[in-house]
């Protein structure tokens, strides 16, 4: 990437994206705020400072690949893609409408900048393994990234993928678990405990880095470490808050898949305005 | 052929999601028989397994987002004479756990009950990934499997109770959105027995799920054009009611099948398998034509995909010309 954003710029960007996400969901009348807001800082750093990509040429062969495995948080990705110029900003207002470029879950044939369609949880890491294997076979330095939810890692396929990435020592692969502690039915811990997550991935032969998933500096450092680590894939376990940035959405399971109404939107935007 | 007289005003029906019927049915099945247990897939509220969970917390097992494991665990529970209900969005339930359903559940003929929520494109804005359009095909091709697609919330409740009472694997498909209530408590429901909700002599509409209502509306409209239309509620896709289907085809000489599902392999295909062998008549099929769903509000989608009463009426006019 030509220009690296500094800490303050990253924070400003993320705040701007948070506002966009809420407005999009309000317009759409449905969608997933909680997991979008918990992931947005990670995605902001990834797209601004880490990922090698070219919005003018989304199909550029040498681009790094980002696989959004937890497809339901695509509003977070859409707002970033539009900001980078993959498509016009007006499209954001069409989220989830009939005929829209922006489907309720990612469709690669509708939206420029998406690597693959997703929305059925637990499939993305396998795809990322395939991409990383091909990149290595081709002798390219392309890196592959994959974002998952913490409820999502309950899927058996995630562990099959993790085993294969460890087996093939895919150090060109970096995955992130957005560990916000919540899924739809409640706390991940109560629905189906996934811990100790770090030990599990280490046992599957991954390099594991634990970070605060809202600290843009920590996020950037983790991506850097991952790219410098050789012999193992890297798993970034990001400790996050579901609904981060909007007080009444934070840590509230009810905000997994519900859009704000006008009042709630205004209250949320006001909070995101004040923060400096 | 069993004839059931409509007791509701189809111009002004009450609208209730079929998932409510499933939730009530599961709860009542649990009250009637303590061997009934249920598995949770992290969407317990939206698929309406929450009524059972709250009433019988000890008999509810939260298993997280892990569809293949759900089917295997249900199989184990069934081996211990429990009656497990696995409830999930139809796409993931039928699709993610298919081999487990095939080999562990159906080959062993275990008493596992599958509640497939969010059937059809009327799921709406979540889009293609969440709109189940293939479950009827991939479930009905499995030996020992029963497949039921009830027409409204009341019938979904009856089907859920019947599922708990019968032995063997069964898939019940139900939906998310509010749909017209077209039956009442007294409407007879028996797995494997289709019934006629409107008599007619020129053409037979054979439908399942909420599309039975679209068929009834179309039939009423067609009456104004002098077309006498029979409407069959074919709620059981498997074992299919051959006798009723053949009788309907013989009486009318033309058939329109209607479903909110891929036409390929679905309810219409099951009807065609019967007709082609025993009573070939001209047929038109209404359903999703080999394409994925899309985001949009349910009503817009039903129009865009040609799944409304107008489309059914059009198909009737076409098929009559072919008689
Ligand atoms: C295979 C599959 N099963 C179920 C669902 C329904 N679903 C969508 S989001 C979700 C919860 C995800 O929780 P988590 O991974 O923790 O996501 P986040 O908290 O980041 O939103 C579920 C069960 C799905 N999309 N795919
Ligand atoms: Mg989570």
Tell the residue number behind the tokens 């247990």, with chain if given. Answer: B37
Same domain, B175 and B200: no
> Whole-angstrom Cα distance, residue B27 to residue B53?
8
Contact A120 B62 (CB under 8 A): no
Residue B270 domain-assigned (yes or no): yes
Range of the domain at B296: 195-321
Same domain, B247 and B131: no
Render the burial of B280-316: b for 16+ CB within 10 Å, e for the rest. Answer: ebbbbbbbbeeebbbbbbbeebbeebebbbebbbbbb
Tell the residue number behind the tokens 């929520």, with chain if given. Answer: B117
Our mutation pick for probing the ligand 1 site, out of A149, A181, A249, A255, counting the most ligand atoms within 8 A of Cβ, is A149
Verify whether ligand 1 is closer than 6 Å to residue A220 (CB atom): no
Same domain, B157 and B101: yes
B146-148 and B236-238 strand pairing = antiparallel
Contact A105 B297 (CB under 8 A): no
Same domain, B209 and B110: no
Q: Residue of the nearest CA to atom 21 in ligand 1?
A: A35
Verify whether ligand 1 is closer than 6 Å to residue A179 (CB atom): no
- Measured between CA atoms, the residue of chain B closest to residue A29 is B125
Length of chain A: 276
Distance of CA B129 to the CA centre of its chain: 19
pLDDT mean over B247-267: 98
Strands of the B255-262 sheet, one edge to the other: B2-3, B195-198, B229-233, B203-207, B255-262, B283-288
User: In this structure, what CATH number is given to the domain that contains residue B124?
Assistant: 3.40.50.970
> Whole-angstrom Cα distance, residue A150 to residue A147?
10
Cis-peptide, bond into residue A151, ω within 30° of zero: no
Residue B261 domain-assigned (yes or no): yes
Same domain, B159 and B202: no
> Among all ligands shown, which has an atom nearest to the Cα of A243?
1
Residue B39 domain-assigned (yes or no): yes
pLDDT mean over B25-54: 98
pLDDT mean over B221-246: 98
Question: Which burial class, exposed, middle or buried, applies to B221 when counting CB atoms under 10 A from its CB (0-12, 13-18, 19+)?
Answer: middle
Tell the residue number behind the tokens 């800490």, with chain if given. Answer: A7
> Whole-angstrom Cα distance, residue B39 to residue B63?
7
| Residue ranges of chain A with per-residue pLDDT less than 70 | 1-2, 274-276
Residue B275 domain-assigned (yes or no): yes
pLDDT at B168 over 70: yes
The pLDDT assigned to A274 comes to: 62
Contact B127 A121 (CB under 8 A): no
| ipTM at complex level | 0.94
Question: Which burial class, exposed, middle or buried, applies to A43 when counting CB atoms under 10 A from its CB (0-12, 13-18, 19+)?
Answer: buried
Share of chain B above pLDDT 70, in %: 100
Verify whether ligand 1 is closer than 6 Å to residue A122 (CB atom): yes
Between A and B, how many residue pairs show a Cβ–Cβ distance under 8 A? 97
The pLDDT assigned to A275 comes to: 54
Residues from chain A contacting residue B295 (CB–CB below 8 Å): 96-98, 100, 102-104
Residues from chain A contacting residue B92 (CB–CB below 8 Å): 120
Contact B40 A103 (CB under 8 A): no
Residues from chain A contacting residue B66 (CB–CB below 8 Å): 154-156, 192
Contact A192 B64 (CB under 8 A): yes
Residue B189 domain-assigned (yes or no): no
Q: For residue B245, which of B272, B220, B224, B215 has the smallest C-alpha distance?
A: B272
User: Which fold does the domain A7-274 belong to in CATH?
Assistant: Rossmann fold (3.40.50)
> Whole-angstrom Cα distance, residue A175 to residue A173?
7
Strand runs labelled E in B71-228: 83-89, 113-117, 146-148, 170-173, 178-180, 195-198, 203-207
Residue B1 domain-assigned (yes or no): no
Closest CB to A98 among B64, B92, B296 = B296
In chain A, where the domains are located: 7-274
Residue B42 domain-assigned (yes or no): yes
State how many domains chain B has.
Answer: 2
Strands of the A207-212 sheet, one edge to the other: A65-68, A144-149, A173-179, A234-239, A207-212
Same domain, B68 and B206: no
Tokens of B131: 């709109």
Same domain, B44 and B89: yes
Tell the residue number behind the tokens 């020992």, with chain if given. Answer: B144
> Whole-angstrom Cα distance, residue A64 to residue B235?
50
User: Chain B neighbours among A 26-85 (CB < 8 Å)?
Assistant: 28-31, 71
Q: How far is CA B38 from CA A124, B22, B132, B322, in A?
A: 29, 12, 21, 49
pLDDT mean over B275-295: 98
Ligand 1 atom with the shortest distance to the CA of A105: 25
Cβ distance A70 to A121 under 8 Å?
yes
List, in sequence order, every residue forming a beta bridge with B60; answer none if it has no partner: B38
Residues from chain A contacting residue B45 (CB–CB below 8 Å): 184-185
Tokens of B24: 């009530």
pLDDT mean over B187-195: 97
Q: For residue A149, which of A213, A104, A225 has the smallest C-alpha distance?
A: A213
Same domain, B126 and B241: no
User: In this structure, what CATH number is given to the domain that contains residue B266?
Assistant: 3.40.50.920
Verify whether ligand 1 is closer than 6 Å to residue A104 (CB atom): no
> Whole-angstrom Cα distance, residue B128 to residue A248?
31
Same domain, B166 and B216: no
Q: Does B260 qualify as catalytic in the annotation?
A: no
The pLDDT assigned to A3 comes to: 81
The pLDDT assigned to A2 comes to: 55
**DSSP-based three-state secondary structure for B146:** strand
- Chain-wide mean pLDDT for chain B? 98
Same domain, B143 and B97: yes
| Segment B77-113, tens digit of pLDDT | 999 999 999 999 999 999 999 999 999 999 999 999 9
**DSSP-based three-state secondary structure for B65:** coil
Same domain, B202 and B271: yes
Tokens of A28: 């759409």
Closest CB to A120 among B125, B129, B300 = B129
Q: How far is B296 from chain A (nearest CA, A)?
A: 4
Residue B7 domain-assigned (yes or no): no
Same domain, B32 and B151: yes
């Amino acid at each position: 990437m030509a220009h690296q954003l500094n800490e303050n710029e990253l924070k400003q960007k993320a705040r701007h994206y948070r506002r966009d996400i809420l407005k999009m969901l309000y317009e759409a009348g449905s969608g997933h705020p909680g997991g979008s807001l918990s992931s947005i800082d990670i995605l902001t750093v990834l797209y601004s400072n880490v990922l090698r990509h070219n919005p003018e040429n989304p199909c550029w062969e040498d681009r790094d690949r980002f696989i959004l495995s937890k497809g339901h948080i695509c509003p977070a990705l859409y707002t970033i893609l539009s900001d980078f110029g993959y498509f016009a900003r007006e499209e954001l207002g069409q989220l989830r409408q009939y005929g829209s470029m922006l489907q309720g879950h990612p469709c690669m044939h509708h939206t420029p900048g998406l690597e693959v369609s997703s929305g059925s949880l637990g499939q993305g890491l396998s795809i990322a393994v395939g991409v990383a294997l091909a990149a290595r076979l081709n002798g390219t330095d392309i890196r592959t990234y994959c974002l998952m939810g913490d409820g999502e890692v309950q899927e058996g396929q995630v562990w099959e993928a993790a085993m294969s990435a460890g087996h093939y020592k895919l150090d060109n692969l970096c995955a992130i678990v957005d560990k916000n502690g919540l899924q739809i039915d409640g706390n991940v811990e109560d629905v189906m405990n996934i811990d100790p997550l770090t030990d599990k991935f280490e046992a599957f032969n991954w390099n594991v880095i634990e970070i605060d998933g809202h600290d843009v500096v920590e996020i950037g450092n983790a991506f850097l470490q991952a790219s410098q680590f050789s012999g193992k894939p890297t798993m970034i376990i990001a400790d996050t808050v579901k609904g981060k940035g909007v007080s009444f959405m934070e840590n509230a399971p009810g905000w997994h898949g519900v859009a704000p109404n006008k009042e709630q939107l205004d209250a949320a935007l006001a909070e995101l305005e004040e923060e400096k | 052929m069993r004839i059931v007289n409509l007791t509701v005003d189809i111009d002004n029906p009450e609208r209730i999601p079929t998932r409510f019927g499933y939730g009530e049915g599961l709860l009542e099945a649990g009250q009637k028989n303590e061997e009934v247990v249920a598995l949770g897939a992290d969407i317990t509220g939206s698929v309406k397994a929450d009524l059972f969970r709250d009433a019988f917390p000890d008999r509810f097992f939260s298993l997280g987002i892990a569809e293949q494991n759900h089917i295997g665990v249900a199989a184990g529970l069934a081996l211990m004479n429990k009656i497990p209900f696995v409830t999930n969005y139809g796409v993931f339930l039928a699709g993610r756990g298919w081999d487990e359903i095939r080999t562990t559940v159906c080959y062993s003929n275990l008493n596992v009950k599958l509640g497939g929520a969010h059937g059809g494109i009327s799921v709406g804005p979540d889009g293609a990934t969440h709109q189940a359009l293939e479950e009827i095909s991939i479930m009905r091709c499995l030996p020992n499997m029963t497949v039921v697609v009830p027409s409204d919330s009341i019938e979904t409740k009856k089907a859920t109770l019947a599922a708990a009472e019968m032995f063997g694997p069964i898939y019940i498909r139900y939906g998310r959105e509010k749909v017209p209530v077209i039956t009442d408590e007294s409407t007879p429901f028996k797995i494997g027995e289709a019934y006629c909700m409107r008599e007619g002599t020129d053409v037979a509409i054979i439908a399942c799920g909420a599309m039975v209502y679209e068929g009834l509306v179309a039939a009423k409209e067609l009456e104004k054009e002098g077309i006498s239309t029979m409407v069959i509620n074919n709620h059981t896709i498997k074992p299919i009611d051959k006798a009723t289907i053949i009788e309907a085809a013989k009486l009318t000489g033309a058939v329109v099948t209607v479903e909110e599902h891929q036409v390929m392999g679905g309810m219409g295909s099951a009807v065609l398998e019967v007709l082609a062998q025993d009573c070939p008549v001209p047929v038109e099929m209404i359903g999703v034509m080999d394409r994925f769903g899309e985001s949009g509000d349910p009503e817009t989608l039903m129009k865009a995909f040609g799944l409304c009463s107008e489309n059914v009426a059009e198909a009737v006019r076409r098929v009559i010309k072919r008689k």
